[in-house]
Amino acid sequence: MLFLVSSNPILRQQMMPTLSESDRVLDAVIAQGIESSDANDVLYAFEASRDYDPGPALEKIRAPLFAVNTADDFIDPPELGILEREIKRVPRGRAVVIPLGPETRGHGTHTFAAVWKHYLADLLKMSER
C-alpha cells in the first residue's frame, strides 16, 4: 500500500502502464517487502505516528524552520492548506511546496535530496551564528 500512496501517480502510471506490468511490478515490490521488512516494525511506525500532533508547541520553535512538501504528496496533501496555515505560528517558519515534476516522488520525495537540498542550504545559511 505504501508503494502506491507514497509516490507520484504519474511515475507509477509510467512504471505500470498495463495490467500485466502492474501485476509484475506489484508482485516484485511485495516479495521484496516480505524479504526486507518486519511486520512488527511497520506496525510500530504506524502506531508511533498515529496520534502525533506538533500543533500545541509550534509557537515555541525559535530556530529557523523550513517545512517542505510536494504538490503530489498524497499522504500530506497540500490542497488541505494545513501546512500554510500552521507555519504562520512558527516565528521563523517557512512553508515550501515543491511543484509536481519529474523529480518529485509524492510523499517519498523526502528521500531524494536533489529535489530539496537547496532549501536545506538556505536553512543552514540562515541558522549560522
DSSP string, 60-81: G--S-EEEEEETT-SSS-GGG-
Query: Are 48 and 92 found together in one domain?
Result: no
Query: Are 124 and 87 found together in one domain?
Result: yes
Q: pTM score, two decimals? A: 0.77
Q: What is d(CA 122, CA 14) in angstroms, rounded to the nearest whole number?
A: 33
Query: Are 126 and 92 found together in one domain?
Result: yes
User: Which domain range does residue 60 map to?
Assistant: 53-129
pLDDT digits (tens, 9 = 90+) for 3-30: 877 888 888 888 899 999 999 999 999 9
Query: Are 61 and 1 found together in one domain?
Result: no
Q: How confident is the model at residue 78 (pLDDT cuts 50, 70, 90)?
A: very high
pLDDT digits (tens, 9 = 90+) for 31-57: 998 899 898 998 998 898 889 899 999
